[in-house]
Amino acid sequence: MPMKNLMKDVMIDFSLHIATAQKNLPTEKDFLQWISAVLLPEHSDAEISIRIVDEEESAELNQQYRGKKGPTNVLSFTLESDPLVGDIAMCAPVVKNEADSSNITETSHWAHLTVHACYHLLGYDHQTDSEASIMEQLEIKTLKSLGYENPYGDE
């Protein structure tokens, strides 16, 4: 169901699609808060869709779009650059397993991965050490503004 959010000067046309039976997922309000923390007024009229998937669908998407086997935590697909339009696929079982194995809350991991995916939609990447450092610093700053700890653990 599409949802509009006016936060400061950022208008987000947001939709959330649940395609997994996993419970205890973040709410639309949670995702909008995390997305809004990344977007700036110059990203007005953003259109973002998040699809929460199971491991099978994640593995299919990962193979199709990245040529990699197996499920992954998050995939970002930029559809257009202006206005910001993109799709994000997040694998609920992988997110839960990663949070459990890292001894962090699922909510903080969902927040981190959503922020991470949004920076990808904005054109940031982590293919080189320099790119990774820039992206990680942006994520740390954004997550701190939301009340979350540094997901990389190296302050």
**Does 113 map to a domain?**
yes
**Does 155 map to a domain?**
no
Read off the CATH number of the domain in which 35 is found: 3.40.390.30
**Does 87 map to a domain?**
yes
- Tens digits of residue pLDDT in 120-140: 998 899 999 999 999 999 999
**Does 104 map to a domain?**
yes
Number of domains forming the structure of the chain: 1
**Does 57 map to a domain?**
yes
HSE-CB for 66 with a 13 A CA cutoff: 14
**Does 152 map to a domain?**
no
Structural domain containing residue 37: 3-145
**Does 150 map to a domain?**
no
**Does 67 map to a domain?**
yes
The pLDDT, as a whole number, for residue 4 is: 45
pTM of the predicted model as reported, rounded to 2 decimal places: 0.90
Task: Report whether pLDDT(102) > 60.
Answer: yes
